[in-house]
Structure 1
Amino acid sequence: MSITVTTKINYVEFTSPALEQTQAFFTEAFGWDYVDYGPDYKDIGGAGTGGGIERGALRPPLIVLETDDLDAMLAKVKAAGGKITQEIFTFPGGRRFQFKEPGGTELAVWTQG
């Protein structure tokens, strides 16, 4: 059975143990601006695609896909062999889950609301 849902790259999350310095660098070097979501998360504006910086241990950037049907996409990811690393959870603005594709890259899928 094939499930048709819309999915596109929508957001990139960075981590930084030095959040304020990373934010200042991106502002000075690229002219990006920010919306603060507490002391540990900055939403990036003006970068051409959505993005954010989370205070935390350094890890590769997380590519976030947007879908119009999160539950159907979770089922498709599992059926295709993805390993779920975080089950569906809510956050301000939506819901998402995270997974690793068979080659090991971690990605996330989210939906608004």
Structure 2
Amino acid sequence: MTTHTNSWPAGTPCWVDLMASDLERTQTFYRDVLGWTYSESQPEYGGYCNALVDGDVVAGLSPTMEGMEDAPHVWSVYLATDDIAAHAAKAGHAGATQLLETMEVGPFGSMGMWADPTGAAFGMWQANEHTGFTRVEEPGAVAWCDVMTADPAAAREFYAAVFGYEYQDIGDDSMPYALFTVPGGDRPAGGIGGPAPDAGDAQPGWSVAFQVEDVDAAAERVRRSGGSISSEPSDFEYGRMTVAAGPDGEVFVLMTPAETM
């Protein structure tokens, strides 16, 4: 079991959440696919609830907020910060556009949303009582987060300026990709890359991969539960993966890491 109860180092993907058009339907879907249970929805926070794996928080779900009915349904990725005002200022100076003003979320922490200069949206989370994921890299929990954009060089420059990312290139000219490490980190915390050659007009964005014990079995659970598979299970250097979509069309990855990871 991989648990983490302290605040995450600044710049590390530390949380993901999703607005659902039908919260009960979405909860049922991810319960069937990933085995999640849930904390009680909190009316004072718009019906938000935490998804749990063996009692540890791994993600958030909420009903669609009033006035945001036309907003796209996507998994939002939040990067940790120990000073949201300072990192917000750096993001603005580096060319980000603020999408949601910073706000305190009760005793849990503070958040805001931005779009980086390439158009990829991301959140920042300054932890208080809620430190983000408390379980990672286990079945049902987040295994990996990355940002894919048509201008990965600009994205790399931006996140280095804001969070001090350092990079290790593992891609090639046809599909650039780099692992990033945050200051003080001892291993890669995520990735930045360009779209696959056959991706068409893919929109820039952060994405999340959830770990499962068996990708092929999980893909079948997605189909049975009303989701879809856009990329069939396949092996890659670091394991086996498939690209799926949930009840509102939200895209996510399911992966089983290679045993050597």
- SS of equivalent to 1:38: coil
Residue 15 of structure 1 corresponds to which residue in structure 2? Answer: 148
Change in CA separation of 1:32 and 1:4 when aligned onto 2, cut-off 3 Å: closer
Deviations 1:42-82 (A, max 9, x none): 12222888421121353332211112222221222121111
TM-score, normalised with respect to structure 2: 0.39
- SS of equivalent to 2:141: strand
Matched, 1:89 2:89: no
Structure with larger RCO (C-alpha < 8 A, sep 6+): 1
Residue 46 of structure 1 corresponds to which residue in structure 2? Answer: 182
Aligned identity (percent) is: 23
TM-score, normalised with respect to structure 1: 0.82
| Cα distance in 1 between the residues matched to 2:226 and 2:34 | 18
- SS of equivalent to 1:61: strand
Q: Provide the alpha-carbon RMSD of the alignment.
A: 2.5
| Cα distance in 2 between the residues matched to 1:62 and 1:3 | 18
- The answer for unaligned runs of 5 or more in structure 2 is 1-31, 36-138, 196-201
Residue 37 of structure 1 corresponds to which residue in structure 2? Answer: 170
Looking at secondary structure, tell me which structure has more strand per residue. Answer: 1
Matched-pair contact (CA < 8 Å) for 1:10–1:50: no
Matched, 1:78 2:223: yes
Letter in 2 for 1:62: S
Specify the structure having the higher radius of gyration (Cα).
2
Letter in 2 for 1:54: G
> Which of structure 1's runs of 4+ aligned residues deviate more than 4 A?
2-5
Matched, 1:107 2:240: no
Residue 159 of structure 2 corresponds to which residue in structure 1? Answer: 26
Change in CA separation of 1:3 and 1:66 when aligned onto 2, cut-off 3 Å: closer
Matched-pair contact (CA < 8 Å) for 1:19–1:54: yes
